[in-house]
A = this chain, B = another copy of it.
Amino acid sequence: MKIPSFIVKTSGIVCLLLGGMNLAAAESPSLVISESDITALRQASGGLLEQSMQDNKRLADAALTEGIVVPWPKDAGGGYTHEQHKRNYKAMYAAALQFQLSGESRYSKYVTDMLNAYAKMYPTLGLHPEKKEQTPGKLFWQSLNEAVWLVYTIQAYDMVADALTDEQKSHIQNNLLFPVADYLSKGQPQTFDKIHNHGTWAVAAVGMVGYATGREDYVAQALKGLDLSGESGFYKQLDKLFSPDGYYTEGPYYQRYALMPFVWFAKAIQTNDPDKAIFAYRDGILLKAIYTVIELSYNGLFLPINDAIKDKGIKTEELVQALAIAYDITSDRSLSDIARQQERVSLSAGGVALSKIIASNSVAPYPYESKIYRDGASGKQGALALMRSGNNETGTLVVSKNTSQGMGHGHYDRLSWQLYDNGNEVVTDYGAARYLNVEAKYGGHYLQENDTWAKQSVAHNTLVVDQKSQFNADLKEANKKPAEQVDFVSGELADISIGRINTAYEGVNFTRVQALIKPESVEPFVIDVVSIQSDAVHQYDLPLHFNGQIIDHNLSDYQSFNTWKPMGEDNGYQHMLLRGQGNSASSKNRLTWLLGDRFYSYTYGHYSDSDDSAKTLFFQLGANDPNHNLRRDQGAIRRLTASNVVMYSVIEPHGEYNGTAEYVTNAYSRLKSLDYKVTQSGAELTVNMGETGTFTLVLAGGDKSSGPTEAKVVKEKN
């Protein structure tokens, strides 16, 4: 049922129709899926759409075959009753949609029966026996799951409402929809009014119940918070949870998850209150958020920023749904490039349109660009800098993480970076230590090793001072202190990012310049310059977590250990086994490895005020891991002791290993020389790449207590 938009618009106070008196006939459906979607779907055929339609019918038919199974809540996440209630809301959604598409009453009957079964049980439920302390649910152990359940269930209800008698509607509303909505709103104000994605699920659920049942009080609370002050609720969440560039501070893994209730509820608002122009709100923040999560991916998988399980990517349901809604709003044909990779479309008008574009071979390539994604609601909490060359499936991507902490799921990894190339993770981030839904792995929760390893600084490609984590791994401190994105330039020859953090370690200032150089004829390569200033002498560790088989290195006095011992006792070092170490020269150390069919060479040196000897240590994970929870990832650490030092390097992809055709080309680094020198205005790092040319990274603007603030790349032909 549509709430006449003038009421909301003219009254300002949205409480004209409070209470349960709302049994006027609905012109269903009118939430995320509306009449126009159904019309488009009924007329469509072929392509990905056909496949998605068949998938939905299969799901709905399987649900009907299984029948109504609504068990008494008992199990925690991953357990039987938990999974069954999850299956149920998806089943109801699929069957209700199938009813809309086919008009067959067996589907609406199934949904009605299920809703009635829940309506019978819900009022009798206490809190879940396995309840989470702060946010207990009734059907589920945590209220978050209950909100997700309601977001799906209210849509199912909305799609079968036409088939219900007024009495049936009243029964379901009063015994199920309203009680759940009440429990999720006034029953859990700490969640409902929280500026957090859990709050968004609750707000979306309650707001959609409001639209579907005419309960404007729910809608108003959803939009402006329980007290209607606007200090919480959907608008405030839109204001606070995304940066002006649409970046969600927890990173794309959670952004994808958080996006679903935002986008769905926004679509429901658009359907019911088009004059609110919700998709234009805050300069189109929701569309920016969708585009951003698309862009924060490589070869189909999300960049593992903060807590992120690395098998998740653009094929997720959330992004399939969001994509179709975005297309519906924008008609941006390049979104079809994403749908192509998703290999399915959502069942909506947008999905129909995307499917048609793909079927007619009219896909426009998505224009991935080198750019920064500012962090923080105001955009002043640092940024994630992405530098790209080539396409997003096989090209080169450098990610410089100069963001804020990212709240509770954040890692202590200011100024860390990642490299993607040739379809692979090359310089890697561990992501989260978690096996989602695998009960044997600590019930599918975050593992202890997520704290002891994955969040620690040394688990990332960033500076570690005196073997401690940034901010001493104190979340409260870390939350206050974002990195700075000092500069970012994107050009034809090179993209350059400068990040800085002077608060991660007491008395240590640390600036990182990263550049992706894009020569015309050969693979792009990366220059990385880490400038560290301190008044005191420290041990500096710069880890490089890389993927692949070591081919060779040129370290002197290399010792290979036959007994592998842990490299420390805490801060992540307790998990690292030392397998070998050698002396690093001050310049032109080189490590080459092979990943897939391509070689990678890391050439590095340092410029320091002390002549203390530098070492390179090779490690692998596995110590203090009694439950085999960690992947056996490897890496190298550059270690030296100094006060002020510049650690520079070049990473270059090169050559080809072809096992099928039995040839190898360019197995050796192209780099001829790598020279760092201090100049009057700053410093220069000159990279002689042989025939490819000589490239000089010119740094300026820094002084003794701060790294460079400006950078450019100059090329000469050799």
Contacts and interface: CB of A to CB of B under 8 A. Distances in A.
A558 interface: yes
Interface in A659-688: 659-664, 667-668
A309 interface: yes
A658 to B, nearest CB: 9
A626 B558 contact: yes
B549 A440 contact: no
Contacts of A663: 83, 86, 437
A435 interface: yes
Interface in A693-716: none
Interface residues of A, number: 56
A620 interface: yes
Contact of A564 (B309, B436, B577, B662): B577
Contacts of A627: 552
A311 B659 contact: yes
A312 interface: yes
Contacts of A439: 664, 667
Given A78-B664, A620-B632, A664-B78, A436 B560 contact: no
Contacts of A580: 626, 628
Interface in A312-354: 312-313, 315-317
Interface string A610-645: 000000001010111111100110100000000000
A563 B560 contact: no
Interface string A552-568: 10000010101111100
A129 B88 CA distance: 75
A663 B309 CA distance: 13
A200 to B, nearest CB: 18
- Residue in A311, A580, A662 whose Cβ sees the most chain B Cβ within 10 Å: A662
Nearest to A558: B626
Which of A558, A574, A577, A592 has the most chain B CB within a 10 Å cutoff? A577
Nearest to A593: B628
A589 to B, nearest CB: 15
A551 to B, nearest CB: 5
Given A563-B566, A579-B622, A435 B594 contact: yes
A309 B436 CA distance: 35
Interface of A: 78, 83, 86, 309, 311-313, 315-317, 435-441, 444, 549-552, 558, 560, 562-566, 574, 577, 579-580, 592, 594, 618, 620, 622-628, 631-632, 634, 657, 659-664, 667-668
Sorted nearest first, the 3 A-B pairs with minimum C-beta distance are A311-B659, A560-B626, A550-B628
